[in-house]
Amino acid sequence: MDMQGHWYPVSLAHSVEPGSAAGVRLDGRELVVWRDGEGGAHVWEDRCPHRGMRLSLGFVREGRLGCLYHGWEFGADGQCSHIPAHPDSQVPKAIRTRPYPKEVRFGMIWTALSAEPPPPLPEDAAEITPVASLYLDCAAAAALSALRASRLPPFRAGDHDAGTVFETVAPTLFRLSAGSESILVGLQAVAAERTALHIVIEGPGVVYAGQGQSHFLRWAQELRHRIETPSLNSANRPGEAP
């Protein structure tokens, strides 16, 4: 898959809490996703410009991301604003992190490996209920073909005979619908043979929180089991009797 010029989801939005940081990988590159105190999301290269320490091991303090190693702190613009060993010095402008484009949409945090943001993602009008992030030992193309072949069992009664419709919403975002219900799956190419699927329900929490989420988590775990168990890769699809 051509990695340039597309948005990629790197986390479910609620998985990175305000005031915290997490490491993620995209096409083998290590990135840090963090949220400032107001919940604003940021995606940077996961390297402190000082000694190369992973910034995702650090801490968020007063809207800045601090490095665990020597406490250098970086503001939302990526600029280093504080060096504890030289508290009174003006920090040179050249000391900064490398920021990547970022977007929060469809209940996921998105980034791109290009310097400029790719064309905008579609609008997300519907309410979203998060389900899970699945991490798979396979290439993105293999995960996508397993997803295409899967059957989505509806959560609510009355939709049992509905067939599954697969739809490409954006180059890395797919919709599976069954009757009146649908889920969105964002595709993260973690590395050559590692892929993450970020799964959300297109529907409000009042309907899907709890049992609805568990229902689609079981579907996702079954999909993963199929991918991880090559002997199952025959004609049977998730949701069908063997």
Interface ranges with another protein (CB under 8 A): 11-12, 15-17, 20, 22-25, 56-59, 66, 68, 132-133, 135, 196, 209-210, 213-214, 217, 221
- CB 158 to another protein: min, Å: 22
- Residue nearer to another protein on the CB measure, 148 or 225: 225
> Do the beta carbons of residue 223 and residue 236 sit within 8 Å?
no
- Residue nearer to another protein on the CB measure, 38 or 123: 38
Instruction: Tell me the C-alpha distance between 65 and 130, whole Å.
Output: 26
- Residue nearer to another protein on the CB measure, 37 or 210: 210
Q: Which residues contact 123 (CB under 8 A, 6 or more apart)?
A: 105
- CB 132 to another protein: min, Å: 6
- Residue nearer to another protein on the CB measure, 162 or 194: 194
- Residue nearer to another protein on the CB measure, 66 or 118: 66
Q: Give the closest residue to 172 by CA, choosing from 157, 189, 152, 155.
A: 189
- Residue nearer to another protein on the CB measure, 120 or 204: 204
Q: Looking up tokens 């396979």, which residue turns up?
A: 138
Tokens representing residue 168 in the block: 């490409």
- CB 222 to another protein: min, Å: 13
- CB 47 to another protein: min, Å: 15
- CB 103 to another protein: min, Å: 19
> Side-chain half-sphere of 86: how many Cα atoms within 13 Å?
8
Instruction: Tell me the C-alpha distance between 35 and 163, whole Å.
Output: 39
Any idea what DSSP says for residue 79? B
Tokens representing residue 136 in the block: 């798979």
CA–chain centroid gap for 100, Å, is 14
- CB 88 to another protein: min, Å: 23
